[in-house]
Structure 1
Amino acid sequence: MKSALHTIAFLCLSAPAFASGVPDALAAEDFFPFDAKQAEIGQLLFYDKILSGNRNISCGTCHHHDHHGTDGLSLGIGEGGQGVGPKRTAGQGTDRIRKRIPRNAPALWNLGHRDIGVLFHDGRLEVSDLYGNGFNSPAQEWLPQGLDHILAAQALLPMVAQFEMAGNPRENEIAGAIHDRIDAAWPILAKRVRTIPEYGAMFVSAFDHIQRPDQVSIVEVANALAAFIGREWQSYDAPFDAWLAGDMNALSPAQERGRELFFGKANCASCHSGPLFSDQAFHALGLPAFGPGRTRQWDPMPRDVGRVGESNRVEDTYRFRTPSLRNVALTAPYGHNGAYPTLETMVRHVLNPNSARTAWTPDLAHLPEAPWLEPIDFVIHQDHLEMARQAAALDIRPVALSDAEVADLVAFLHALTGSSAAGPRPLGRPDRVPSGLPVD
């Protein structure tokens, strides 16, 4: 289907969408029907460093197939780093990173589902008519018209983020353009793409309204990326899906006990509800704090205040979006800042945040070595007043479980891993990209 998907079809989820309880099964019709030919372009663009300011990082660098759409790090290493996944380094010399990415790279699983109306850990991108372009985003009224899906809007933002893909001022034309206005860089990136003959021909073939390569704009680039992400990371063939379909033997005894705890005594489903195991809402879990934080203009402290940074509602302070638990066993580390390296440690935190925070140690964070950044890596963790504020802002109450019950809960979370999720995806990582740049 080549015609645009109308963003009006989405609902902005400002409150939990599902009641607690066993969810409905996932099915192919629950996802938007992204165009296959556009997805083929998106696959190449996803791994093509042509979309970064210095041509040295791609979307796939931090959301790699080898790591199930994530990077395996607590906080990402963006523009200037070297390598992929948990072995990625912070770079060296004048090219080394100037700042860690403040948050954990989110997983991409099932983001093409029809219920997805808000993205990013703080929800700073959501379906909305506030600016007349279909979305409430950091680009505000400068986000272009014609984006088919929230995934298309999301794809545009890392390209113009200094420490993710754009690069530093005076390094390249992209970094310079975004310091004039956020939308000034997108036409430059679109021209980079459409002037490559292979890309130009693919866009003409895949988009009905494109007759010549010079008609390709950043909108088509973003829609192609959305088509790839939306098709590539669909997953609904987990043992739990078989159980929902009526196979009462699909779960092991431990997983069945964990299922009963999840939807019962442990109260997990109060937030992790619905077929995606997320209420799409925001909750304060009091995770251990570290890293540069996502500072605001009038709040330069190296802390992350979460949803309030977008909503400006005091009650949203330290709240973060509930992640989907589909394929969660494949996407460690966990939390908005990757504070916990294993499912067990993350589960224990949610069961008793204050106890877990007290026991947490900095060595649990997977941060590639960067001696020039070490003075600020844990400075906020040592701020007792700030830690007290975060500890006081909790939306969950402790639940007492035995070690055996925790093990059963973890077993159930493994039952949410798709049978095909760890194997090859429909398109996968390309061996080459039309720009000729190296593929991570």
Structure 2
Amino acid sequence: MVFAEALPAALTGADFHPVDREQAALGQLLFYDKILSGNKNISCGTCHHPKFGTSDGWSLGVGEGGVGLGTERNAGTGHSRIERRVPRNATGLWNLGAREVHTLMHDGRISSANTYGNSFNTPAEEWLPDGIDSVLAAQAFFPLTSETEMAGGTGENEVSGAVTDRIDNGWPIIAKRVRTIPEYGQKFVDAFDHINAPEEVTVVEIANALAAFQALEFQSIDSPFDQYLAGNETALSGDQKRGLDLFYGKGNCNACHSGSLLSDQKFHAIGVPPFGPGRTRRFDLIARDVGRLGESDRLEDAYKFRTPMLRNVALTAPYGHNGAYNTLEDMIRQHLEPAAMFAAWTPAKAKLPEVAWLQNTDLLIWQDRSEMARQARVFAPTGPRLTDSEIAQLVAFMNALTGTSLDTPVFGVPERVPSGLAVD
């Protein structure tokens, strides 16, 4: 039985940044509009779609150049086909507008910090412009510059060519594309008090609108767990309540999945098995992902990844920074027995779209004995021993984190967008 003081406070609307509804409505259109991508063929919503829990249903996404939506998406054909997989799993977007959120991305490379004098520590460093409303808005800048996500390959379009020269050079191109569409130009004038004419719109307003939409649309605070925290003793089933007791008791899950957001926003090495292209650094010669070390340059951060928040986690499979596990049960067992699960892992545990020209390199990292040994040296210690029935109860509790009003979003997916491009 969990003592009441071990439980977090219930999340309420007061825990979130205030959002301008008109800016959020504009952000909805931008979120689903492919005009923001270099080749005008992919939107934010393509890889973060509500049909897939604001993710895409794959371990590693089929990004720029792919065709289709979610698990129906394929790698494309001809010159425009994908050149490599997106190196990390597409995370869910739930509750990123909360005031407590200060660090984003699997490696934490975007955070609220005045490192460069502009309130945020990001890959753009001092080139990130002023006027950004939140860390969620700061994050919105970077899929636009990613070759595999939205920018496209070097030489394919003016955006990808510009960001190859310097990361901030592509943003004015995207902003001009958007503001010169008359419908968008007027909407920006209407939504932002400081914008008096469309030509004043910059990528800052685009990012702030995108963040406003995500903060409002993907706020989820009415799950059975949230209802239980708010005082409804009958909101959880018997197995869900037993799972809650394990989560905050014997399982010690709340050591990292702590607070009202169910994340300490810190970084931990739990030994998730590697595969795919890895998020390599400029000087990496192998397809590895060193996690937080890639951002901090501190050896003690090697292979550590950010603790995810858990609202609606049952909807966002696969799990782990690279989606190594397609079930909550396997992901829980990875936490409990890191070394054993690492050794027993096979690609069948993940959910990876077939791409014939990439299959031979997906598991190349496993042939590098030195790299595999480095990863094994930083495994988290073995967790508490739980029975199969106790693990099933934890899974039941994970399902109790699913919101009850997800079928009635504030905005939903628009039927059309001002660019006239197709909506996924």
Q: What is the correspondence of 1:19-38 to structure 2 with a 5 Å cutoff?
A: 21-38=6-23
- The aligned residue for residue 11 of structure 1 is none
Q: CA deviation at 1:222?
A: 0.6
Q: Distance in 2 between matches of 1:163 and 1:358?
A: 30
- The aligned residue for residue 174 of structure 1 is 159
Q: Can you give the 5+ residue segments of structure 2 that lack an aligned partner in the other structure?
A: none
- The aligned residue for residue 118 of structure 2 is 133
Query: Per-residue CA shift, 1:392-432, capped at 9, x if unaligned?
Result: 202343221111111111111111111113x1311011110
- The aligned residue for residue 5 of structure 1 is none
Q: CA deviation at 1:381?
A: 2.6
Residue 389 (structure 1) aligned with residue 389 (structure 2): no
Query: Per-residue CA shift, 1:222-261, capped at 9, x if unaligned?
Result: 1100100111100011111111122222111111111111
Within the candidate set 304, 322, 339, 1:354 is matched to 339
Q: Distance in 2 between matches of 1:360 and 1:61?
A: 29
- The aligned residue for residue 438 of structure 1 is 422
- The aligned residue for residue 213 of structure 1 is 198
Aligned residues: 420
Q: CA deviation at 1:170?
A: 1.2
- The aligned residue for residue 341 of structure 1 is 326
Could you tell me which amino acid in structure 2 is paired with residue 212 of structure 1? Answer: A
Within the candidate set 300, 303, 307, 1:322 is matched to 307
- The answer to which of 295-304 and 401-410 deviates more is 295-304
- The aligned residue for residue 46 of structure 2 is 61
Q: Distance in 1 between matches of 2:105 and 2:202?
A: 24
Query: Per-residue CA shift, 1:116-167, capped at 9, x if unaligned?
Result: 0000000000111111111110011111111111111111100011111111
Could you tell me which amino acid in structure 1 is paired with residue 413 of structure 2? Answer: R
**Contact 1:48 1:437 (8 Å CA) reproduced:** yes
- The aligned residue for residue 316 of structure 2 is 331
SS at match of 2:235: coil
Q: What is the correspondence of 1:281-430 to structure 2 with a 5 Å cutoff?
A: 281-421=266-406, 423-430=407-414
- The aligned residue for residue 246 of structure 2 is 261
**Contact 1:308 1:317 (8 Å CA) reproduced:** yes
- The aligned residue for residue 116 of structure 1 is 101
Q: What is the correspondence of 1:142-181 to structure 2 with a 5 Å cutoff?
A: 142-181=127-166
User: Percentage identity across aligned positions?
Assistant: 60
Query: Per-residue CA shift, 1:249-308, capped at 9, x if unaligned?
Result: 211111111111110111100000001110000000100110000111222210100000
Q: Distance in 1 between matches of 2:56 and 2:191?
A: 30
**Contact 2:338 2:380 (8 Å CA) reproduced:** no
Q: What is the correspondence of 1:229-268 to structure 2 with a 5 Å cutoff?
A: 229-268=214-253
**Contact 2:58 2:352 (8 Å CA) reproduced:** yes
Query: Per-residue CA shift, 1:184-241, capped at 9, x if unaligned?
Result: 1101100000000000110111100011111111110111001001111000111111
**TM-score w.r.t. length of structure 2:** 0.97
Superposed CA RMSD in Å reads 1.0
Q: CA deviation at 1:438?
A: 0.5
**TM-score w.r.t. length of structure 1:** 0.94
